[in-house]
Amino acid sequence: MLTSAGQTAPLPMTGASHNGPGLAAQQHRRQQQFPPTRSLVWILCLCLGNFWGATELPAQSPESRADDASTEISATEIDLAPPSALLARDHPNDAGTAIDLTWQLSPDDRADRKPRLVLGYQISRTLADGTMRETLDRVTAGVSEFTDRSCEFGTAYLYEVAAFGPGQSVSVTAQLSGPVQPARQWFNRSRAWFGMLTIVVCGSVVFFTEFVKTGRGTYVRPIAGLQAINEAVGRATEMGRPLLFVPGLRDMNEISTVAAINVLSHVARTAAEYDATIEVPTNRSLVMTAARETVHAAYLSAGRPEAFNDDRISYITDEQMAYVAWLTGYMVREQPAGCFYLGIFFAESLILAETGNAIGAIQIAGTSETAQLPFFVAACDYTLIGEELFAASAYLSGEPHQLGSLKGQDAGKVLAGVLLVTGCLLATLAGLFPGSPGLTSTLNYLVNSILGRGGA
């Protein structure tokens, strides 16, 4: 807007411009964010960029392009020397499902060459007629053997091995001169030591069984818990109170339950001879049936079949805590003079043992659950520890077959202990004298051949 004096008059400000110093403050901030010097640098960079972008690069000559192409081809396509002397033979000591392959490494497979030309070997297989070709596996460089464990018995195969390198480089394949077929072996000779140890243990069982039949070798270490059975039954007879026998919380498919039923047979026979009452509550129906037959046979062998009462052997429930609640209630009400806990027990072990201890009963316990043994040891009078529960049947019956089996198993344990101590001594000596090849080879033979699978 021009005034009459020809000078330019300031334009009137509208909107936010009427705020006075607001516009000046905004301009000041913009100058701080984009100072003039930085703006000039940005403009100069843009100009230089446009100049270089508009400038054409000099064209490569055909010779240089050919050299670059040859370099790329050499980097991706390398003429590798193939492996040689491929051999295939049946894998020993198997069921006719494996074939072993060996070959000589490619001349280009050298560890001192950097970078390596050969990265590994590719193994392929076809049927004898050349059909059904498939790639089995790849092995790393420096490996010259492979075992094909996916063969079918009675089928002949042809194998090929080729070296591969960087990119798509693959050598010519090494081939077999003819097909190879896997064969079965009657015996796995790598398990010969295992067979010998089995024969020794089984032979010990047979020998001791026949030896016990002659009336010799019948001594078994005394087991305090089993010797106290007569004491518990006699005390129940004198006090006029019943006996309580709990055969665990598992079914008849458990070895511990079977062992408990064997002990029940001796306890029931002793109770029949002493004219004592025995109560056998169970939490499995099959255990109830087996217990009834066992107790009935015990009363028959004692000559008192009329004293047998099958209602005393009952099924309560499968529920763990409901079964325990019934047992503790019975113990508090009837006050049994002797309590037997034999079989598999869990959290209820301490509940039963403490209840029996509170009523003053003689308690004999035994279980294969090692976590529950401390509770039985703390609260019961006698506890069968370890394999004493399983040896109880042979100990109580004195039957030759059971005693022979027990002594034969002990012989096997002695043999296992000797091998264990020998291995520990060899390992210690091999650690003290690492330069002795004899100790190392003997230890490896013991671990891999005698105790192991013989490398199979």
Q: Report the CATH number that the domain containing residue 151 is assigned in CATH.
A: 2.60.40.10
Q: Is residue 196 part of a domain?
A: no
Q: Is residue 295 part of a domain?
A: yes
- Tokens 């609640």, residue located: 325
Q: Is residue 303 part of a domain?
A: yes
The pLDDT tens digits of the residues spanning 162-199 come to 999 988 889 999 999 899 999 998 888 888 888 899 99
Supply the pLDDT for residue 218. Answer: 75
Are 305 and 388 part of one and the same domain?
yes
The pLDDT tens digits of the residues spanning 67-123 come to 443 344 344 567 889 999 999 999 998 889 999 999 999 999 988 888 888 999 999
Separation CA 51–CA 411 (nearest Å): 97
Residue 38 — very low, low, confident or very high, per pLDDT cuts 50/70/90? low
Separation CA 446–CA 440 (nearest Å): 10
What strand order describes the sheet that includes 134-140? 134-140, 120-127, 157-164, 174-175
Are 167 and 298 part of one and the same domain?
no
Are 236 and 106 part of one and the same domain?
no
pTM of the model: 0.63
Q: Please give the span between the terminal C-alpha atoms of the chain, in angstroms, as a whole number.
A: 106
Q: Is residue 454 part of a domain?
A: no
Burial tier of 435 (Cβ tally within 10 Å: 0-12, 13-18, 19+)? exposed
CATH code of the domain containing 281: 3.40.50
The pLDDT tens digits of the residues spanning 391-443 come to 998 888 888 888 888 888 899 999 999 999 999 999 999 999 988 888 989 99
Question: Which of 382, 397, 412 is the last residue before a domain boundary?
Answer: 397
Question: Which of 397, 418, 439 is the last residue before a domain boundary?
Answer: 397
Supply the pLDDT for residue 112. Answer: 85
Could you tell me the residue range of the domain that residue 279 belongs to? 224-397
For residue 185, the tally of other CB atoms under 10 A from its CB is 13
Contact between 330 and 355 (Cβ < 8 Å): no
The CA-based dihedral angle spanning residues 276, 280, 286, 289, taken in that order and rounded to the nearest 10 degrees? 30
Domain count along the chain: 2
- Tokens 């100069």, residue located: 44
